[in-house]
Amino acid sequence: MKKTGVIIAVALTCVIMGALIGALTNMVNGAVSPLYFQNIMRWDDVQDVWRASVTQGIFEGLIYGVLFAAVFTAVFGVVTKGECPYSHVLKFMLGIFVAVIVCWAMGGLIAMGLAILSPEFYRRAFIGVPEETAPMLRYAWVGGSIWGGLFGGLLSAILGSVIFRIKWKKQLANQALDGTA
């Protein structure tokens, strides 16, 4: 694959990964607490909240995927000058994908812990939180996992870019020492 083709493939993969993350996470979140989406998105008249939440996740994931593509593809292009094989950079992008999913789950668990620790605080701090414990915990999961995915995505994109740069430079240095560059 030519340099330009690899750079385009990296950018498209970033966008697709964003959409996949949005779809997968909202498949779970829409099933866990449709009430969260009804309250936060004001979807009182939406017939199929789960389907709407998945669609919303894809839409937002595409937006974040484009932002991730702009950052990561720029780093990739500048650092490697398009010389890195797609299969090599794909490993880093998949690592970032997994890191975002882990942060999404951690965010949900942290929010549930906060709701358990202080239900009164949680109900006052966030919009439309149910009074009953089980619905409140489901609601907390969804809100927390969304924040976890957003902040985790930003952190993962930055750290993934930095790690990619470091490892690429190290690989080039090793190749120069081995005489394979």
pLDDT beyond 70 at 178: yes
CA–CA distance, 162 with 28 (Å, rounded to integer): 30
181, 128 in Cβ contact below 8 A? Answer: no
Give the model's pLDDT for residue 20.
98
In the predicted structure, residue 64 carries a pLDDT above the cut 70: yes
Helix (H) or strand (E) holding 130: none
Per DSSP, the three-state class of 121 is helix
Q: What is the pLDDT of residues 108-140, one digit of tens each?
A: 999 999 999 999 999 999 999 999 999 999 999
For residue 136, the model assigns a pLDDT of 98
Helices (H), 81-118: 86-117
Q: Which tens digit of pLDDT belongs to each residue from 69-111?
A: 999 999 999 999 989 999 999 999 999 999 999 999 999 999 9
Domains of the chain by residue range: 3-178
Would you report the helix, strand and coil content of the chain in percent, each value rounded to 5? Answer: 85, 0, 15
